[in-house]
């Protein structure tokens, strides 16, 4: 029973850390599957060397999350918490001890279910992520931030839900953006701006954050799913 309790507590702590970190990364503009995978990679120290992992280094708030995950992983935070809990509850073969451990197992399993599958936990974690990002001077984005060089120099990728005019000067509030390239649905990147973009393609643009927000509202569809 003691081994089972230790494993379930370790799983609970690890799952919670990855869930929270993944949501924060997702709200910073990283697609959900990538955010969760990279959060697990940083916590476990696996270090997948893919182009997707480079996204975590492009903005200050993502680097902070990455550092926290790496520190938690190097300290073996899940194992430490499991050891502390076992030390507090103790391992006893008496009926009372077995009952206490059984209740602890059930409580841990219910907590994991709550964290992973309930809308209340989703809302709480999302609000926590938004609050933390706002304190970092950032916020939720409906586009993928590729590089943030400053307030007036952000390179981002927008998935098109509507076809924008061929002339960027006709983009209204988003006219300050500079088109860099277009990513086709098959992943092929074509530099420059085409005479006519297509729905489903991704526009790679450079410019101020306000212009990116205007372009996303006018022509884009969220790369990040904030509904959870």
pLDDT at 89: 61
Cβ neighbors of 115 (< 8 A, separation 6 or more) are 15, 16, 19, 121, 125
Name, in order, each residue with C-beta under 8 angstroms of 184's C-beta and a sequence gap of 6 or more: 190, 201
**For position 50, what pLDDT does the model report?**
64
Kindly report the CATH number that applies to the domain delimited by 144-221: 3.30.70
Distances (CA, A) of 89 to 3, 79, 93, 95, 112: 13, 15, 12, 14, 20
Token pair listed for 63:
């680097």
pLDDT score at 211: 93
pTM score of the predicted model = 0.65
Instruction: Point out the residues of the chain with pLDDT beneath 70.
Output: 1-3, 47-51, 78, 81-82, 85-86, 88-92, 137-140, 151, 223-228
């Amino acid at each position: 029973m003691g081994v089972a309790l230790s494993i379930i507590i370790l799983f609970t702590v690890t799952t919670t850390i990855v869930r929270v970190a993944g949501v924060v990364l997702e709200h910073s503009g990283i697609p959900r599957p990538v955010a969760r995978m990279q959060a697990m990679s940083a916590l476990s120290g696996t270090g997948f060397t893919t182009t997707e992992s480079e996204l975590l280094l492009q903005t200050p708030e993502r680097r902070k999350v990455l550092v926290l995950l790496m520190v938690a992983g190097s300290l073996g935070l899940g194992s430490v918490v499991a050891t502390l809990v076992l030390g507090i509850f103790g391992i006893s073969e008496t009926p009372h001890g077995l009952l206490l451990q059984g209740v602890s197992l059930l409580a841990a399993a219910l907590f994991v279910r709550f964290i992973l599958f309930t809308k209340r936990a989703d809302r709480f974690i999302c609000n926590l992520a938004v609050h933390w990002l706002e304190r970092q001077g950032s916020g939720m984005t409906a586009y993928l931030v590729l590089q943030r060089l400053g307030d007036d120099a952000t390179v981002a990728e927008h998935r098109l839900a509507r076809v924008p005019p061929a002339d960027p000067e006709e983009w209204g509030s988003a006219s300050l953006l500079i088109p860099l390239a277009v990513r086709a649905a098959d992943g092929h990147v074509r530099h420059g701006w085409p005479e006519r973009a297509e729905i489903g393609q991704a526009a790679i643009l450079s410019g101020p954050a306000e212009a990116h927000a205007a372009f996303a509202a006018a022509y884009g569809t969220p790369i990040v799913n904030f509904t959870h």
